[in-house]
A = this chain, B = another copy of it.
Amino acid sequence: MSDLRIALAQINTCVGDIAGNTALILDRCRAAHALGAHVVAFPEMTTTGYPIEDLALRESFQRAAAGAVSTIAEALADEGLGELMVILGTLGVSEGGMPFNQAVVLSGGEVVARYNKHHLPNYGVFDERRIFAAGEDACVVSPASSPVGLAICEDIWQDGGTVAALSGRDLRLLVVLNGSPFEEGKGHTRVELAARRAREVGAPLAYVNMWGGQDDLVFDGHSFIVSAEGEVVASAPGFTDAMIVWDVPEAGVPAEPSGIAPSESLDEQTYWACVTGLRDYVRKSGMSKVVLGLSGGIDSALVAAIAADALGGENVIGVSMPSRYSSPHSRDDAMDLAHRIGADYRVQHIMPMVEAFEQQMELSAVAAENIQARVRGMILMGISNSEGVFTLATGNKSELAVGYSTVYGDAVGAFAPIKDLDKTRVWELSRWRNAFARSRGEVEPIPQSSIDKEPSAELRPDQRDSDSLPDYALLDQVLDAYVEHAEGREELLARGFDAAVVDKVLALVDRAEWKRRQYPPGPKVTALAFGRDRRLPITSRWVE
């Protein structure tokens, strides 16, 4: 056995559930010890969950995080595991009361070192300069009398700072604690970056990442270790609990590979990211069941399949809500889907309510279409309120981008599982999910006719998406360039897109964005009504 065996505990923490996170950390410490590890490392902000937003500023929360660290150190010593070195993330506080994004190192029943994150990301989904002070000192600890350096997530994404400070320190290992959200294709970027940093410090780099969903983020895990030469010597799968165990070689000795996780296709990764995001949004909110409308179309079919994979088909209520414009196959396909995934299938006709509105009010054509969508939203919320279940919205990114969505109608829901997938991706993931079922000899969850049929909102007679939109394959390319990559009209034309298509799509997107601005609902009200200093996580187990 090596003199320095490290374990990386890839876990799914819950924001604010400090007692639960503490129990999970202790459990993984025991497992690491049983596997002969001398050191076990956890992801970023392990005791508190991540990201904690303005909870970082609350003194009661800071005290609870500090209490968790003491509890863990003492419990390990009491259980005779005091010699195991534990590296975990927590919320630290400076003497002046400023919060830190901190790694603590436990050994012999006490904290033997603290490291405060240097580089605080403050772009995109990150706002860490709002809530944390930046650390200034590097940190090296010495298990088995070997120098082991620490870093936290963004520290390796920026040049300079702690990695530069550690590069002359003759490290035997660099341990990096991460809360790195999933993005398609980011896995390669992470590994290449880690390999570069490993070569920079001349030591293997152990990258431990959390997994799980938190509000609108999904963390994928995919922890790994690269050798000093930058080769991957151990890796964990995504979207699941895992423990990497690896014997750190002595300086100059070649690294021995440990377990390497099978590679996952992008479709597979993204599908499980959607499942994880939905499951944790529901469960971390303390709920277990969901309700959604089943139209027979591909969007609601994919959402239902994701929900069944996340929560079990028995926890999914699927409601067919036919109108005078619904085709017979819509209802057949909805029922077929519900049976395939084992959902609670119901039918609720909408015409009695729609006709009551139509008889009472004089509505424009668009307003009348919206009434249909809103009656469906009310039906789903009626079930949600009566039975205590979450409503899911089934809109995809393409239709949200061009404004084919009714506020307070099909946009109703606590969570929108495919809001970040364009229509092309919706089809791809549906086909992947069915192929996955076939490969396991299971029933395909999604009816083939839902995949094959031409998309339609069925809000007026013989309506087809193609009546008013370009083909989705083309639309999604234009949207990706305009919305995701902020290319302008001239850049789009230079790339060879047809001018009429470009002008039409850009006009739709601009109008939809304007409409979204009109009705930006919830958080805006929340922020004003409940104290301006409170930018808080949505799903959180923290109670003052």
Residue ranges of A at the interface with B (Cβ–Cβ < 8 Å) = 58, 60, 122-125, 127, 129-130, 215-216, 285-287, 348-349, 352-353, 355-357, 359-364, 366-367, 370-371, 374-375, 377-379, 381-383, 385-386, 390, 393, 397, 400-401, 407-408, 411-414, 416, 419-420, 483-484, 486, 488, 510, 513-514, 516-533, 538-540, 543-544
**Cα–Cα distance between A190 and B121 once the two chains are bound (Å):** 32
**Cα–Cα distance between A130 and B127 once the two chains are bound (Å):** 7
Across the interface, do B374 and A381 meet the contact criterion of CB distance under 8 Å? yes
4 further A-B pairs in the complex, CB-CB below 8 A; given A414-B518, A420-B529, A516-B526: A127-B127, A353-B353, A393-B525, A510-B543
Across the interface, do A353 and B360 meet the contact criterion of CB distance under 8 Å? yes
Across the interface, do B385 and A366 meet the contact criterion of CB distance under 8 Å? yes
**Given A125-B532, A367-B386, A544-B486 in contact, is the A523-B520 Cβ separation under 8 Å?**
yes
Across the interface, do A382 and B366 meet the contact criterion of CB distance under 8 Å? no
**Given A386-B363, A386-B364, A529-B397 in contact, is the A538-B522 Cβ separation under 8 Å?**
no
**Cα–Cα distance between A60 and B393 once the two chains are bound (Å):** 35
Assembly of this chain: how many copies? 2
Q: Which residues of the other chain, B, contact A413 by a CB distance below 8 angstroms?
A: 519
Q: Which residues of the other chain, B, contact A367 by a CB distance below 8 angstroms?
A: 381-382, 385-386
**Given A123-B130, A524-B523 in contact, is the A285-B517 Cβ separation under 8 Å?**
yes
Contact of A130 among B129, B414, B527 (CB under 8 A): B129
Least CB distance from A519 to B in Å reads 5
**Cα–Cα distance between A268 and B383 once the two chains are bound (Å):** 45
Candidate in A123, A353, A374 with the most chain B CB atoms within 10 angstroms:
A353
Q: Which residues of the other chain, B, contact A525 by a CB distance below 8 angstroms?
A: 393, 400, 411, 416, 419
Q: Which residues of the other chain, B, contact A488 by a CB distance below 8 angstroms?
A: 60, 544
Contact of A124 among B287, B353, B533 (CB under 8 A): B533
Q: Which residues of the other chain, B, contact A383 by a CB distance below 8 angstroms?
A: 361
**Given A129-B129, A516-B526 in contact, is the A361-B348 Cβ separation under 8 Å?**
yes
Least CB distance from A146 to B in Å reads 38
21 A-B pairs whose Cβ atoms sit less than 8 Å apart in the complex? A123-B130, A124-B533, A127-B130, A129-B130, A285-B514, A286-B514, A287-B518, A348-B360, A348-B361, A353-B356, A355-B356, A361-B383, A370-B382, A374-B378, A375-B378, A378-B378, A390-B518, A401-B530, A408-B412, A414-B520, A420-B529
Q: Which residues of the other chain, B, contact A382 by a CB distance below 8 angstroms?
A: 357, 361, 363, 367, 370-371
Nearest B residue to A420 by beta-carbon distance?
B528
Q: Which residues of the other chain, B, contact A483 by a CB distance below 8 angstroms?
A: 530-531
Contact of A538 among B130, B517, B531 (CB under 8 A): B517
**Cα–Cα distance between A129 and B419 once the two chains are bound (Å):** 29
Q: Which residues of the other chain, B, contact A353 by a CB distance below 8 angstroms?
A: 353, 356-357, 360
Q: Which residues of the other chain, B, contact A486 by a CB distance below 8 angstroms?
A: 58, 531, 544
Candidate in A401, A525, A526 with the most chain B CB atoms within 10 angstroms:
A525
**Cα–Cα distance between A37 and B483 once the two chains are bound (Å):** 47
Across the interface, do B122 and A216 meet the contact criterion of CB distance under 8 Å? no
Least CB distance from A89 to B in Å reads 22
Least CB distance from A232 to B in Å reads 27
Across the interface, do A484 and B519 meet the contact criterion of CB distance under 8 Å? no
Q: Which residues of the other chain, B, contact A544 by a CB distance below 8 angstroms?
A: 486, 488
**Cα–Cα distance between A370 and B379 once the two chains are bound (Å):** 11
Candidate in A124, A530, A533 with the most chain B CB atoms within 10 angstroms:
A530
Nearest B residue to A482 by beta-carbon distance?
B544
Across the interface, do A129 and B122 meet the contact criterion of CB distance under 8 Å? yes
Candidate in A348, A386, A531, A540 with the most chain B CB atoms within 10 angstroms:
A386
Nearest B residue to A57 by beta-carbon distance?
B123
**Cα–Cα distance between A127 and B521 once the two chains are bound (Å):** 21
Across the interface, do A215 and B526 meet the contact criterion of CB distance under 8 Å? no
Least CB distance from A384 to B in Å reads 8
Least CB distance from A60 to B in Å reads 8
Q: Which residues of the other chain, B, contact A533 by a CB distance below 8 angstroms?
A: 123-124
**Given A356-B352, A361-B348, A408-B378 in contact, is the A526-B520 Cβ separation under 8 Å?**
yes
**Given A129-B122, A364-B385, A382-B371 in contact, is the A215-B359 Cβ separation under 8 Å?**
no
Contact of A216 among B386, B510, B527 (CB under 8 A): B527
Q: Which residues of the other chain, B, contact A359 by a CB distance below 8 angstroms?
A: 352
**Cα–Cα distance between A516 and B407 once the two chains are bound (Å):** 17
Least CB distance from A15 to B in Å reads 11
Across the interface, do B510 and A400 meet the contact criterion of CB distance under 8 Å? no
Q: Which residues of the other chain, B, contact A125 by a CB distance below 8 angstroms?
A: 527, 532
